[in-house]
Structure 1
């Protein structure tokens, strides 16, 4: 049978029409999806999803998207009781000021997505200072400080993740203000979550925060993993701590790379009388498989703001490269609180000023109202299976006169010296403890013990956060 050209054209029109009508119908024969499924792990998956473009977002790197982010979060908060919602930030450069998160919510940055912190100060609102600090860290601020770029309080089940999307705080203007003494209020942090439960921050690149990068505070059941955090070294980017768990319980930090202008991981719990009054310790913290580069600060720091207490901290498989110290414990008279039951093992350190550093004379009080009778307690600090090379000085350990730091234990620690090491390798005052198989030879306040009484150990139980299950979620990106 002969088929005319006109009949063929009609047939094609009919077929195209059928395919157009059936677009989105869930059948193998007609399904022609425009969305590509992507898998990711999260503490919760969401039933609802939207893009920032649905709320007028423009990813040109110039247009402010602050209103779009706020409108998106407000709208998606309505789905909290029906499976929660996901806000997708697609590829592009999305300029924004500070915005808040909501509960049962996921902020997902797709591959190629960059959230840019605005350089317009008017888009950084002022919020109250933290009650356990009593003032801002940079300036008293009359009880106020700048809000974080991504902020949330009193939340349940919140996830900030992505397919290695990027958040760039564009912190240079804030660093300049700090160096020029032009700050009336404390600089913004990048991500700050307060008074919340079930928090996940993962699989992102974080750049150039105005101050601290990731700051969970007064919160519990927190997973922070797969982050790449980068800021220029100090003094270019002052106080750009990597991750600061602060008065938090049951926290996991793992598989992160941090290169910053301050401590890579800084464990905190409030400042002097304000931290004592709030009384919320940081407990049950596990840090593992983290690599740190910070020439003027530490790989792991405990304090100096530790007035609510720090207990049961576990660090393992940690690498520190070109840092001032591998581990620092910082406190002072007036801090009160405690740092106890700290366990660190399998740390590798290369090119250090000090491997271990402790001090009871780290001042910097919020005001003159601190209690000089508030004496911090440092006890049961364990360092196990550590290797360091190219080190200037092994340890500078200085406790408090009349109130020594006690229960310090070192086991299987080997330190290799730099070309021009310090003549004195161990400076020890007002400390008590033991050592086993440590080179170079320890000071007299850390006498050699045998394996039976050395006392160093690492807990064998699991923290609850290790058993918080992650689900395989599907994100559909254009």
Structure 2
């Protein structure tokens, strides 16, 4: 159903949506499945799979004092539980306490459950962070040409993995790494908080993630991914603290997340210049819904800038952006190649924005000087509808590429309220082509052609990942 055109009613609706999101982030979702366990010794957990076996971190010598390293305890626990994958799988419970640790790897048919009174603390001792190879679709580390540190929670070539909790916390203690970044002291790329590579059937949910050294959640070369109910918090001036970065992934669902970030709240990616073109794995069939974002210097959702493997069939709806630089931004450049196409956005409420619509065809960030400047991206069939924004400085900045215009841009049912001192030129458009209807302030001439009756298109069919229903599982409550 389309959101109402009446802006007053829409404000009320958006406020209600925001309230529902916040409530969802502090309580577990109710899903169909087994009846609740009759004892308080167990917690209900919505998950893609339930587990037959359970262990607690303290069974392996874990000490939750916030000082003692638990790297060995985590690694030993997962090594012990790994053989149980063939016998109904296993779950590791992180009980109340503060659990300092370096990087550790997960296993298949496995659940990591973080109790609401538990905090996993990332070590600031670099010796507890092993090095891993650069990503083949990037050709180098993002911070430095060399390798990269493994993520705090890492997995590769896995199947059926759940990282969840009843709002437990994972704290990346990122200030150590941010300081090194600002001082240009990094020889390899900073660790991410959670990274899953070459994996299938992944769930990351119902957690509070704070102060990642760099990107927070990075599924890459993976499929069938559900990310839901995350609260992600970082200082708004922290470097490269993207919230969620689906990267060369297919069939992904991101929903009911609240993100405060120093960078893009969600950044959709698929590889960097010639390396991404060669690797050739797009991000496709992606659903993002019920997102609340605060990021004064970046986007609520960015498509790119690393998009050389392509991005297609992305459906975005019910987004609230507050004090955020832009809403849904496309970032690309000569040398990227690839494509961003079949993008559908519906239902955004935006307050205090620099830009509502922003597309950049000259994002000058390259892995090296070996990129092909004739490799230009294809940007087409980009649809936005049902948007209400207030306190906006610029309505739009749409910059395509000379000789390679961005085409079939459609914008409909948009009401933009301007700041007390708006820019005189509200729509700055170059090398773009498209359509519009019922847009205020009126759009630029390249978008003045009337959109089809009914406004811009939004698909009504469901993607396969939207049809996945979570089971009701039970986890032993170590605090009971």
Q: TM-score scaled by structure 1?
A: 0.91
Q: 1:217 aligned to 2:220?
A: yes
**In structure 2, what is the Cα distance between the partners aligned to 1:442 and 1:448?**
10
Correspondence for 1:76 among 63, 66, 81: 81
Following superposition of structure 1 onto structure 2, how do residues 48-447 of structure 1 map, counting pairs within 5 Å? 48-141=53-146, 144-234=147-237, 237-447=238-448
CA drift at 1:372: 1.2
Is there any run of 5+ residues in structure 2 with no aligned partner, and where?
A: 1-37
**In structure 2, what is the Cα distance between the partners aligned to 1:233 and 1:178?**
16
**In structure 1, what is the Cα distance between the partners aligned to 2:455 and 2:136?**
38
**In structure 2, what is the Cα distance between the partners aligned to 1:34 and 1:297?**
46
**In structure 2, what is the Cα distance between the partners aligned to 1:219 and 1:278?**
14
**Conserved 8 A contact 1:35-1:476:** no
CA deviations over 1:268-321 (Å, ceiling 9, x no partner): 000000000110000000000010000000001000000000000000001000
Q: Which moved more, 1:442-451 or 1:363-372?
A: 442-451
**In structure 1, what is the Cα distance between the partners aligned to 2:79 and 2:275?**
33
Larger Rg: 1
CA drift at 1:448: 4.2
Distance change (3 Å), C-alpha of 1:34 and 1:371: same
**Conserved 8 A contact 1:84-1:104:** yes
CA drift at 1:469: 2.2
Q: Give the secondary structure class of the aligned counterpart of 2:445.
A: coil
**In structure 2, what is the Cα distance between the partners aligned to 1:54 and 1:463?**
41
**In structure 2, what is the Cα distance between the partners aligned to 1:352 and 1:170?**
29
**In structure 2, what is the Cα distance between the partners aligned to 1:111 and 1:95?**
16
CA deviations over 1:24-70 (Å, ceiling 9, x no partner): xxxxxxxxx99711111000000000000000000000000000000
**Conserved 8 A contact 1:280-1:308:** yes
**In structure 2, what is the Cα distance between the partners aligned to 1:201 and 1:290?**
15
Is there any run of 5+ residues in structure 1 with no aligned partner, and where?
A: 1-32
Aligned to 1:456: 456
CA deviations over 1:401-456 (Å, ceiling 9, x no partner): 1110000000101100001000000000000001000000111000141543x761
What is the number of residues matched between the two proteins? 441
Q: Which moved more, 1:467-476 or 1:205-214?
A: 467-476
Aligned to 2:29: none
**In structure 2, what is the Cα distance between the partners aligned to 1:325 and 1:200?**
28
CA deviations over 1:354-408 (Å, ceiling 9, x no partner): 0011011001100011111111000000000001000000000000111100000
Q: CA RMSD in A?
A: 1.1
Distance change (3 Å), C-alpha of 1:114 and 1:450: closer
Q: TM-score scaled by structure 2?
A: 0.91
Aligned to 2:465: 465
